[in-house]
Structure 1
Amino acid sequence: MTTTPTTATTTTTRGADLAAARDEQLAAIVSATAAAVADDASRAAVQFTATGTSTGAVATDVETRQHRFVVDEPASLGGDDSATNPVEYALGAFIGCQVVTYRFWAARLGIRLDDVRVTAVGDLDVRGFFGLDDDVRAGFSEVSLDVELVGPEPAERYATLQAAVDAHCPVLDLFANPTPVRTSLHVTSA
């Protein structure tokens, strides 16, 4: 008698296969990077660039490498609401970096991770942006993350993973620590 695997079994097997393939790919990237920087730490330095041009009321067309996206504000903040606003993109960047870092460190620590879901909430008092109160900062006063990890490991393993992510997530570092910003202003007469 031949039996057909159930959908749950098939889905679990497929998820495990995808996780194994992803972990193998990430391990290869880590290995190649470690080899590249072993003799020369300067090879580890990477620089990212984004360029933006104003469009619409307050919108911006942004280019990064071969990618383009639009940043705008809702009408209540002077925009046309044609796209996600800057602080929402910042939260999205945080979420994306968390997912990447969870995937990377799960592979590095040998922790099976089938899925990652992250929600970020940022509290912002617009009095800072509008200059209505100099004692209120212009950016987020707090950011809260809700991270849901799906996988078969014991909770302690995922707590170890979270500690690794908290120590190594680049965008978490941007939010949690001061980063020097240098601005060069260039004015062209119209």
Structure 2
Amino acid sequence: MNTQSAIHAKPTIINGLDVDAAVATIASIKADKSLGRFQFRARNTWIDGGVNRSVIRDFYGAGKEDTSRDTAFEFTNGEPPILLGNNEGANPVEFLLHALAGCVTTTLVLHAMARGIAIRELSTELAGDLDVQGLLGLDDSISPGYEQISIRMHVKADCSDEALDDLLAYAQRHSPVCNTVCRPVPVVIERAST
């Protein structure tokens, strides 16, 4: 390929992702492992009752602070009336399902691209079972968190059923949110000094 054709070559895109950019990113992280360290942040303010709002804008990644987002993302947490709210927004455990769905989906699409598998259709249904007796402190033997989360992924891809099953299992193991939910992760809550 001469220089002129290289300049005009279209990037290889699989599942909406630029394969060449992915290869370059992976090569950069292999060459300098510190580029793989990220810190994501959220700031939350209580509004009233069960309503609070999270703002997400900046993060640290690839060796530097990233402030490239022109506008912050804002998410309102609320509760349904049965849990003393007015449906001001999804509640935090529903946002957890949203985060889990998004992360498993993105991980699946990313690793499908890496394997050269084109995804034709992808949708996901999640359900989480929770007993609020744990949240309310009515029974200490009941965990306040989800007892189980089920994820049903509807996938049509240009690969065999065996390759798709392998890809689904790989996505489950490598999704950061799924991995965080599936293993104990230290969470430190401390009072900020005023």
* TM superposition shift of 1:187: 6.3
Corresponding residue for 1:168? 174
2:95 is equivalent to residue 122 of structure 1: no
Q: How many residues align?
A: 169
2:144 equivalent among 125, 131, 138:
138
Distance 2:20 2:155 in 1: 23
* TM superposition shift of 1:21: 2.6
User: CA deviation digits over 1:90-119, x for unaligned, max 9?
Assistant: 001111111101110110111121121111
Corresponding residue for 2:67? none
Which segments of 5 or more consecutive residues in structure 2 lack a partner in the other structure?
Answer: 1-11, 58-71
Corresponding residue for 1:37? 29
Distance 2:109 2:18 in 1: 8
Of 143-152 and 87-96, deviating more is 143-152
What is the identity, as a one-letter code, of the residue corresponding to 1:53? T
Q: Scaled by the length of structure 2, what TM-score is found?
A: 0.81
1:59 equivalent among 30, 51, 59:
51
Report percent identity of matched pairs.
29
SS for the counterpart of 1:114 is strand
**Alignment RMSD, CA only?**
1.7
Distance 2:170 2:21 in 1: 18
2:160 is equivalent to residue 154 of structure 1: yes
Corresponding residue for 2:115? 109
User: CA deviation digits over 1:138-179, x for unaligned, max 9?
Assistant: 000000111110123221111121121122111110111111
2:102 is equivalent to residue 99 of structure 1: no
Q: Scaled by the length of structure 1, what TM-score is found?
A: 0.83
Distance 1:136 1:166 in 2: 26
User: CA deviation digits over 1:63-97, x for unaligned, max 9?
Assistant: 01121111111122122211101000000111111
Of 106-115 and 44-53, deviating more is 106-115
Higher strand share: 2
Distance 2:182 2:105 in 1: 17
SS for the counterpart of 2:105 is helix
